[in-house]
């Protein structure tokens, strides 16, 4: 954003203007989001912020405060919140995308909102006292407490001496080149639809015009392509005053169609691709459960963005500020080309040569030329489309079905259904089940690894009367994973027996540390918020969509993601045999695994092959098992496989509170000394000595936790009357 010339688009579920983008925050005052946006606005950059307008009774993200704060920065900052719940009739669903798009040339897409609690490093530190990294309410643990007000942002919500922050694990990616225009078109489509519905006559809120080829809709009686030359000054766009292509007086009926040039008319000279044929995927849903959808297809070398069906009665004439359209390509510059002599700002590498390996911390991956497809979940209420688009859902199912060796998933939720499940409509689970059974019948190695949060990230102890939302999400996830006739482990066990764990396994993340020098040793789950899937080290899916009906059906929450296919490969192994791994997907998995497993630079090659037993069983599963046992010995932290009922949970909480005097809502404080018997005597040891054997953050997901309880809400809980909200 610092180097933007023309426009910045920001789209978020939650945005905190006081967020520091760099840390330590004391040394980076100018990196605060509101300060950065003010600086760019004063330079003439046009800034558009599209926020989710929450139901205030249900969420405490206070978007009206964020809007007021942003509008007070400068007249070049425009803000829209959507939807208006009463007029639209939309109360249950949200705008869930997390996007930043700069000058149509670079965009950031994934799971990270620009808000408190998200900043973290691969160490996942649990304490920060005195404040150095996380100021005020950025020291965040929603399991313990959600602030009632975000306006006094520098005031702590939690006692840093008693409560750990909840570390945050997420995945976001940067795209360069033509796909950024597709992502920007999504923003423009949503902005214009919100403008049309909320502020059709408000001059301060302009309509936007997408860059690139635009097609007049067929129902206008003509189908000619409009190409517009940009007003370009030198090699930059500093002198372009506006990029809207509309005046503030434009009629709300002039909102443009966002249809790109037909992909079939474009050059397809890049050759064959593994992404071809995804449109041949069988529909995994029950044909009677929902209406049919258009097939989702990937072209050989071109992006095929989604189509908007918004009406356009009077196409405007002032189109001359659009950039000269280039051919619509699916090549994404994760590593910009350095061949041209005159480089734009987005083509420079301040970090040096990152083509082959990630930085030492593993947090910034290599920039590599790839092919990509932008995918979405949108519908009439969210984007004004006449048809529901669920291309993220279809991409998940298609990629899983076509996986050759393994599927790696990290997601905030895992709620899905098998064929015949009437409650859950998305069929990611069915795709996994079919692919595993195919591997079993063919007697081939196939691994599915799924990493999710240990507990939902909502406030309240599991036995609290006000924590029904936590329990109901747990119910649906356990129904998906291991409980009931529609769960995947139940069905696999019927056919495979204990061998099912050779094919699929579930994990979480946990961290520990002192809250301050000399302070108590604390632990917290590392909250998995990433929405990423890696297939065969060759293809990656990154976005905002969770694996649940809310995110995947298209008619509920709006979402956006990108499917990245590697074009450049390195020598690797898969199942003990030589394998060409994609540079981007391979490096992403190694970065994630080295963090989760606590691997140092010289050890990362041990997990190059994710399928063989020496990796899957001897390193991945063994590390998770050992770490889980150590955390159980030190903390008896919640959740764990020894607690099967709410009565057992209450007893455990009572015992530890009597023993420690103070603990956290999920038993995250260690005793000063661990007691053990040696030669008949009680011996006390420092808990940190035991915890030194923990490697990384990987732990086993507790499949037996609360297994004797019905976690569904009861009739006197509000969650009982809107269960679809939680899956």
Q: Is 98 part of the annotated catalytic residue set? A: yes
**Closest residue by Cα to residue 274 from 54, 524, 561, 538:** 538
Token duo for residue 342: 């005159």
Q: Is 267 part of the annotated catalytic residue set? A: no
> Between the CA atoms of 116, 144, 172 and 447, what dihedral angle is there, to the nearest 10 degrees?
180
Catalytic residue of the set 40, 53, 67, 103: 103
**Closest residue by Cα to residue 48 from 67, 29, 22, 20:** 67
Q: Is 26 part of the annotated catalytic residue set? A: no
Catalytic residue of the set 67, 98, 169, 212: 98
Q: At 182, phi and psi to the nearest 5?
A: -70, -40
**Closest residue by Cα to residue 556 from 420, 430, 454, 413:** 413
Token duo for residue 67: 């809007």
- Per the CB < 8 A criterion, the answer to whether 449 and 505 are in contact is yes
Q: Tell the residue number behind the tokens 């734009």, with chain if given.
A: 344
Q: What span, in angstroms and rounded, lies between the C-alpha atoms of 391 and 400?
A: 14
Element containing residue 99 per DSSP (H, E): strand 99-102
Q: Tell the residue number behind the tokens 């956006």, with chain if given.
A: 560
Catalytic residue of the set 53, 67, 137, 529: 529
Token duo for residue 308: 């908007």
Alpha helix positions (H), 560-667? 583-597, 613-615, 622-635, 646-660
Evaluated on CA atoms 656, 657, 663, 664, the torsion sign reads positive
Q: Is 531 part of the annotated catalytic residue set? A: yes
Q: How far is the CA of 631 from the CAs of 105, 203, 444, 532, in angstroms?
A: 46, 58, 35, 27
Catalytic residue of the set 53, 531, 567, 697: 531
Catalytic residue of the set 96, 405, 695, 727: 96
Q: Is 95 part of the annotated catalytic residue set? A: no
CB atoms < 10 A from the CB of 346, how many? Answer: 17
CB atoms < 10 A from the CB of 151, how many? Answer: 12
Catalytic residue of the set 120, 254, 331, 536: 536
**Closest residue by Cα to residue 190 from 202, 174, 173, 207:** 207
Q: Tell the residue number behind the tokens 């054997």, with chain if given.
A: 693
Q: Is 499 part of the annotated catalytic residue set? A: no
**Closest residue by Cα to residue 506 from 635, 414, 389:** 414
Token duo for residue 244: 């809207």
Q: Tell the residue number behind the tokens 């591997």, with chain if given.
A: 439
> Greatest CA span in the chain, whole angstroms?
92
Secondary structure (DSSP) of 118-184 = ----TT-----SS-SSS-GGGS--TTT---S--SSTTS-SS-TTT-----EE--EEEEESTHHHHHH
Residues carrying an active site annotation: 96, 98, 103, 529, 531, 536
């Amino acid at each position: 954003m610092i180097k933007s010339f023309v426009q910045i688009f920001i789209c978020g579920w939650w945005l905190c203007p006081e967020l520091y983008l760099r840390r330590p925050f004391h040394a980076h005052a100018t990196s605060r989001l509101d300060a950065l946006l003010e600086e760019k606005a004063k330079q003439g950059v046009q800034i558009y912020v599209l926020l989710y307008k929450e139901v205030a009774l249900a969420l405490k993200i206070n978007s009206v405060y964020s809007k007021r704060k942003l509008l007070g920065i400068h007249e070049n900052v425009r803000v829209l919140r959507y939807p208006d719940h009463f007029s639209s009739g939309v109360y249950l669903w949200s705008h869930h995308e997390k996007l930043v798009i700069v000058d149509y040339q670079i965009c950031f897409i994934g799971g990270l909102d620009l808000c408190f609690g998200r900043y973290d490093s691969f160490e996942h530190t649990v304490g920060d006292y005195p404040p150095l990294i996380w100021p005020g309410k950025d020291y965040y643990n929603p399991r313990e407490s959600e602030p009632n007000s975000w306006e006094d942002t520098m005031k702590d919500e939690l006692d840093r001496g008693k409560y750990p922050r909840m570390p945050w694990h997420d995945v976001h990616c940067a795209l360069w080149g033509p796909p950024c225009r597709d992502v920007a078109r999504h923003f423009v489509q949503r902005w214009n639809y919100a403008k049309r519905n909320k502020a059709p006559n408000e001059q301060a809120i302009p309509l936007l015009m997408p860059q690139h080829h635009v097609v007049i809709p067929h129902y206008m009686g003509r189908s000619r392509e409009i190409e517009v030359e940009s007003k370009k000054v030198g090699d930059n766009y500093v002198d372009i005053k506006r990029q809207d292509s509309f005046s503030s007086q434009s009629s709300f009926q002039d909102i443009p169609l966002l249809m790109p040039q037909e992909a079939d008319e474009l050059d397809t000279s890049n050759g064959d691709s593994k992404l071809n044929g995804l449109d041949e995927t069988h529909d995994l849903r029950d044909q009677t459960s929902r209406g049919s959808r258009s097939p989702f297809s990937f072209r050989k070398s071109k992006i095929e963005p989604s189509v908007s069906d918004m009406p356009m009665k009077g196409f405007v004439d002032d189109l001359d500020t659009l950039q000269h359209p280039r051919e619509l390509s699916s090549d994404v510059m994760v590593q910009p080309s350095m061949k041209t002599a005159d480089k734009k700002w987005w083509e420079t590498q301040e970090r040096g040569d990152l083509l082959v390996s990630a930085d030492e911390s593993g947090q910034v991956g290599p920039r590599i030329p790839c092919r990509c497809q932008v995918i979405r979940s949108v519908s009439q209420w969210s984007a004004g489309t006449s048809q529901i688009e669920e291309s993220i859902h279809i991409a998940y199912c298609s990629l899983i079905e076509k996986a050759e060796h393994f599927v790696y998933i990290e997601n905030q939720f895992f709620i899905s259904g098998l064929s015949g499940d009437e409650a859950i409509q998305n069929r990611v689970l069915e795709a996994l089940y079919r692919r595993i059974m195919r591997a079993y019948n063919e007697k081939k190695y196939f691994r599915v690894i799924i990493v999710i949060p240990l507990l939902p990230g909502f406030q309240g102890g599991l036995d609290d009367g006000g924590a029904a939302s936590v329990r109901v999400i747990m119910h649906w996830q356990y129904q998906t994973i291991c409980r009931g006739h529609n769960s995947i482990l139940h069905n696999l066990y019927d056919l495979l027996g204990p061998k099912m764990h050779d094919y699929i396994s579930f994990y979480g993340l946990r961290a520990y540390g002192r809250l301050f020098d000399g302070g108590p040793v604390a632990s917290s789950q590392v909250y998995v918020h990433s929405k990423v899937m890696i297939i065969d080290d060759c293809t990656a899916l990154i976005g905002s969509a969770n694996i649940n009906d809310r995110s995947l059906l298209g008619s509920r929450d709006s979402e956006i993601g990108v499917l990245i296919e590697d074009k450049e490969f390195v020598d690797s192994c898969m199942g003990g045999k030589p394998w060409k791994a994609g540079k981007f997907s391979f490096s992403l998995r190694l970065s994630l695994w080295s963090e989760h497993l606590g691997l140092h630079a010289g050890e990362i090659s041990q997990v190059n092959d994710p399928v063989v037993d020496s990796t899957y069983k001897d390193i991945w599963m063994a590390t998770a098992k050992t770490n889980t046992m150590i955390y159980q010995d030190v903390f008896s932290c919640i959740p764990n496989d020894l607690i099967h009922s709410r009565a057992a949970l209450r007893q455990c909480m009572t015992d530890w509170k009597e023993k420690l005097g103070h603990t956290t809502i999920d038993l995250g404080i260690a005793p000063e000394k661990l007691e053990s018997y040696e030669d008949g005597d009680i011996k006390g040891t420092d808990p940190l000595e035991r915890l030194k054997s923990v490697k990384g953050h990987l732990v086993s997901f507790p499949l037996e936790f609360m297994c004797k309880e019905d976690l569904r809400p009861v009739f006197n809980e509000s969650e009982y009357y809107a269960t679809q909200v939680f899956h």
